[in-house]
Amino acid sequence: MEIEKYTEPHQRSLEDVLKSSPSVNQGLTSLEAELRLQANGPNVFPTKKPRPLWKIFLGQFASPLIYILLAAGGVALAIGDTRDALFIAIILLINSVIGTTQEKGAQNSALALKRMAETRSMVMRDGRQMEIPSEEIVLGDVVYLESGNKVPADLRLINTHSLEVDESLLTGESLTVVKDASGQFAEHASLGDRKNMAFTGSLVVRGRATGLVTAVGLQSELGRIVNSLNSEESAGTPLLIRMKKLTHKIAIALLVVTALMAVFLFLKGYGYYEVLVFSVALAVSAIPEGLPVALTVALSVASRRMAQRNVIVRKLPAVEALGSCTYIATDKTGTLTVNQMTVRKIVAPDGEQFDIEGSGLDPGSKKFDNVHMESLVRCGVLCNEAKLFFQEGKWTGHGDAVDLAFLVLGEKAGVNPSDSGGLVSDIPFEPEHQFAATLHEGNDHKRILSVKGAVEKLLPMCDSMLVQGHKHRINTDAILNQADELAEAGYRVLALAGHMVSRSESEISKSPTGLVFYGLVGMIDPLRPEAAKAVKQCQQAGIRVAMVTGDHPKTSLAIARELGLAQTMDEVVSGPALKQVESEDQLSKMILEGRVFARVEPQQKLQIVQHLTQKGFFVAVTGDGANDAPALKAANVGVAMGLSGTDVAKETADLIVADDRFSSIVAGVEQGRIVYNNLRKVVYLLISTAAAEILIFVLSFVFNAPMPLTAAQILWLNLVTNGIQDIGLAFEPGEGDELAHRPRKPNESIFDRLMMERVLLSAIVIGGIGYWYFHQLVQSGVGIEAARNNLLLFLVIFENLMLGNCRSEEKSIFKLNPLRNKFLLGGAILAQGIHIVAMYTPGLNILLEVGPVPIGEWARMFAMALAVLVVIEVHKMIKARGIKAQLASS
Ligand code: ADP
Ligand code: MG
């Protein structure tokens, strides 16, 4: 048997490829596809494995503070103080368990979110086009590409229409490459030169194509370069980074204080080792080590909650960024409307109007029968990329909503796309052109050119119009008026035109001329029922909303009116008008005053976004098309549409809105604000309790009292009980009025005046009463150990009550349902419980030098600790009055 030399797919001619691939016409059968999937595995790159549990656990020890503690433990062991060494070990263990469970939880939810953002592809299987997860693509599959897609596998192209792709991921070449199914290339041609192939990971910038899968997963060209696609892990959000810097500063300041105290202690006659252990303990109390974990948990809780509201977080910083956005520039179609188009009006070139009945994809029995409008309907059906089918008793379809509407119209009028000959050439719809065109084989040696799109684009291409079957000279002004009228009534307007060309023509000119105008069509696309409310919520939340659309200005205004977004034409800025501005000032004025941006090209969207961010707005922008990527990148928060969005848009976005709805974005904003407030709550708790502990120590120095707590006790308080409590705050649900406030400034410091006041007040109350209590116990002669035991319990109680204070910055604790956050309640109970266990557990109580406290004393402590609640409640009341007075006077 002769062995044929293997040829690479790019070396082979198109005819050869088509001939030798039986699956080209019908696609693979689903059985064959399943078998291949089983045999070769899914079309994925192995992603970096999630960090194993033991590594997460060990990771908890990687902090300077823990090193110090470990060192102290080592010293203790060396000098034979096993008690302290053992204790430090126990504390570190508990602390790591807490940290590990939190991190593991955050990791799991991040993985779940990633799964939600996976891509899908259009393929041919069993003779039908269908969408499948890109993972399930196998060798030999027929894959369809259109602008905005990410190429899911290596493809030998078998059909291309003005296909341009961006292969920079593979070749480093940033210019787009024109691809063509015809042509053969040398075996060792560089990837960039293999123009008849499309490679995994490249992006389709323009055009359409069909390709045959030649390699998947790691066998693809991209797979050979990268063995695993490491998910980019973000270093943390800007806020987290700022918080870290701040904690560093606090830590350094407090370390200086600690060092000074160490010197004091030393002078007072304590031994080296005691001073060392004590300094370490004090440092532990000073540094809010619970902060990073609590902040991470808060962000991860927020991204989980956003996912429940259909907002999928791709980049963690976007969680908090969304909360501070001051401007949302949103798409119209699909976001504010349902993207379910129905042709309701047809306007003949002479102005005669026809109403079309029905809605949605079901053509129903309502027929439209008018012989003079047949050219218009045929044009809409031919110049079409969608598919409509009757399946399992109902009408379904896929593809562009506008195109689907034309297919439904065709059904109503009895015009079928298959009545005409094959497609010769086409210009697919791209938002920047605002029209689409096709050339079909006709009869009588003619070909049919069909064009549909925006009126302003089409009229210049036409020189005649078809009235009652006869050609007349075109009356442009009359038609523009008809279009305006339709648009004012809220219809999406499309114009249709075309003509017969000779057999010899096989290409469509980029701007066709000499067309016959067939008429206009008015489509409705209902508003999403919840959109108006969501717009209103934004306005109340101090967020400006603007609509950015490719649609007609008057159609857009009609919809904006319904939404309460804009009222008059003055608030509408058109794309062409933006192009004509002469001065920067004028541009600025237009953009700042605009509420509706209509007939906007994707590049202009970028211009608008850039301008707004320059003017200090914190902008969230939505996008779905391939050309929206620059605007999504330039915005502070880029939001891609999950349903209608292209891979390119999704890949550049910070967030994906799974259900495309504007109201989901608003829900995301709310969650963003909640998480920021929760971060503040955690910070407040940790800083004020740390400050209180320091105060107790400072006071005992000043008054020459004995050390109020042992090193072990301080460690316990900070790493165990407090470490459990603060996490609960990260789970706080919203207070319900997040959207009633203006957005915070994006770079606002967490340590604002209110925070300072609260921290100082709380620290003074806890520290002052705590010290006084300890002092008075020592005076009464109960013995220093018993006094410390009581003080420790007292502080645990104090901190639990502080949780109540932290839950809201404005609202009284009595207005907050304690059962609404089971994590907080559970955390408080657990922290208290674990302390009680320590008090009664033989061994542990010796290490910690604690023991049971009589019930009467418990009650007394509790009563005294209530002081911190009272003081903060009063402070909240004073602040509320102040705000009211301010509002009244302004
Ligand atoms: P939107 O912002 O509403 O998504 P598009 O960019 O989709 O706007 O559409 C802009 C204009 O392009 C429409 O007003 C319409 O005139 C035209 N258009 C939209 N879809 C198609 C299509 N499938 N074929 C031809 N023209 C279209
Ligand atoms: Mg659109």
- How far is 624 from 617, CA to CA, in rounded Å? 22
Q: Are 761 and 876 in contact (CB under 8 A)?
A: no
Please tell me the least confidently modeled range out of 195-204, 273-282, 469-478, 760-769. Answer: 273-282
Model pLDDT, residue 48? 65
339 CB near ligand 1 (under 6 Å): no
Give 462's pLDDT tier (boundaries 50, 70, 90): very high
Neighbours of 367 (CB within 10 A): 12
Burial class (CB in 10 A: 0-12, 13-18, 19+), 621: buried
User: What are φ and ψ of residue 224, in 5° steps?
Assistant: -75, -25
| pLDDT at residue 733 tops 80 | yes
- CA 884 to ligand 1 centroid distance, Å: 49
Q: Are 210 and 23 in contact (CB under 8 A)?
A: no
User: What are φ and ψ of residue 466, in 5° steps?
Assistant: -100, 110
435 CB near ligand 1 (under 6 Å): yes
Taking only the tens place, the pLDDT of each residue in 223-277 is 887 654 444 444 455 676 677 777 777 777 777 877 887 888 888 888 887 787 7
Q: Which atom of ligand 1 approaches the CA of 403 most closely?
A: 23
595 CB near ligand 1 (under 6 Å): no
Cα dihedral value 406, 408, 409, 410, nearest 10: 90
Q: Which atom of ligand 1 approaches the CA of 434 most closely?
A: 12
818 CB near ligand 1 (under 6 Å): no
| pLDDT at residue 451 tops 70 | yes
Helix (H, G, I), strand (E, B) or coil at 360: coil
| pLDDT at residue 3 tops 70 | no
Q: Whose CA is nearest to atom 13 of ligand 1?
A: 551
Model pLDDT, residue 240? 67
Model pLDDT, residue 270? 81
431 CB near ligand 1 (under 6 Å): yes
Taking only the tens place, the pLDDT of each residue in 75-123 is 778 877 787 788 878 878 887 888 888 778 777 777 776 666 678 899 9
Average pLDDT, the chain: 88
| pLDDT at residue 285 tops 90 | no
Q: Whose CA is nearest to atom 4 of ligand 1?
A: 333
Taking only the tens place, the pLDDT of each residue in 572-614 is 999 999 999 989 899 999 999 999 999 998 889 999 999 999 9
Q: Whose CA is nearest to atom 16 of ligand 1?
A: 454
- CA 123 to ligand 2 centroid distance, Å: 23
- DSSP letter string over 315-346? STHHHHHHHT--EEEE-STTTTB----EEEEE
| pLDDT at residue 2 tops 50 | no
| pLDDT at residue 720 tops 50 | yes
SS (H, E, C) 383-404: CCCCEEEEECCEEEEECCHHHH
455 CB near ligand 1 (under 6 Å): no
Give 4's pLDDT tier (boundaries 50, 70, 90): low
- CA 624 to ligand 2 centroid distance, Å: 8
Taking only the tens place, the pLDDT of each residue in 201-211 is 898 988 899 99
Ligand nearest to the CA of 401: 1
402 CB near ligand 1 (under 6 Å): yes
Q: Which atom of ligand 1 approaches the CA of 455 most closely?
A: 16
Model pLDDT, residue 283? 76
Model pLDDT, residue 797? 96
Give 50's pLDDT tier (boundaries 50, 70, 90): confident
- How far is 552 from 491, CA to CA, in rounded Å? 9
- How far is 697 from 278, CA to CA, in rounded Å? 11
Model pLDDT, residue 698? 83
Question: What is the best residue among 208, 434, 548 to mutate for testing ligand 1's pocket, by most ligand atoms within 8 Å of CB?
Answer: 434
Instruction: List C-alpha distances in Å: 820 to 785, 815, 862, 873.
Output: 39, 12, 23, 20
Instruction: List C-alpha distances in Å: 201 to 44, 136, 143, 214, 223.
Output: 11, 16, 14, 14, 10
Model pLDDT, residue 284? 72
- CA 500 to ligand 2 centroid distance, Å: 29
More confident residue, 382 or 324: 382
278 CB near ligand 1 (under 6 Å): no
Q: Whose CA is nearest to atom 2 of ligand 1?
A: 549
User: What are φ and ψ of residue 654, in 5° steps?
Assistant: -90, -30
Q: Which atom of ligand 1 approaches the CA of 453 most closely?
A: 26
Taking only the tens place, the pLDDT of each residue in 869-883 is 999 999 999 988 887
- CA 573 to ligand 2 centroid distance, Å: 18
- CA 454 to ligand 1 centroid distance, Å: 7
- CA 24 to ligand 1 centroid distance, Å: 32
43-47, 142-146, 236-240: range with highest mean pLDDT: 142-146
Instruction: List C-alpha distances in Å: 786 to 707, 709, 781, 799, 854.
Output: 13, 11, 10, 20, 12
726 CB near ligand 1 (under 6 Å): no
Mean pLDDT, rounded, for 752-777: 95
Point out which residues pair with 177 in neighbouring strands. Answer: 165
Q: Which atom of ligand 1 approaches the CA of 331 most closely?
A: 2
pTM of the predicted model as reported, rounded to 2 decimal places:
0.83
Question: What is the best residue among 527, 551, 628 to mutate for testing ligand 1's pocket, by most ligand atoms within 8 Å of CB?
Answer: 551
552 CB near ligand 1 (under 6 Å): yes
- How far is 423 from 66, CA to CA, in rounded Å? 71
- CA 147 to ligand 2 centroid distance, Å: 13
447 CB near ligand 1 (under 6 Å): no
Taking only the tens place, the pLDDT of each residue in 607-648 is 999 999 999 899 999 998 878 888 999 999 999 998 888 888
Taking only the tens place, the pLDDT of each residue in 426-439 is 898 988 889 999 99
554 CB near ligand 1 (under 6 Å): no
- CA 549 to ligand 1 centroid distance, Å: 9
Taking only the tens place, the pLDDT of each residue in 819-833 is 899 999 999 999 999
Model pLDDT, residue 535? 96
Give 174's pLDDT tier (boundaries 50, 70, 90): confident
Of 331, 525, 654, 660, the active-site residue reads 331
Q: Are 713 and 774 in contact (CB under 8 A)?
A: no
Mean pLDDT, rounded, for 793-816: 93
Q: Is 331 a catalytic residue?
A: yes
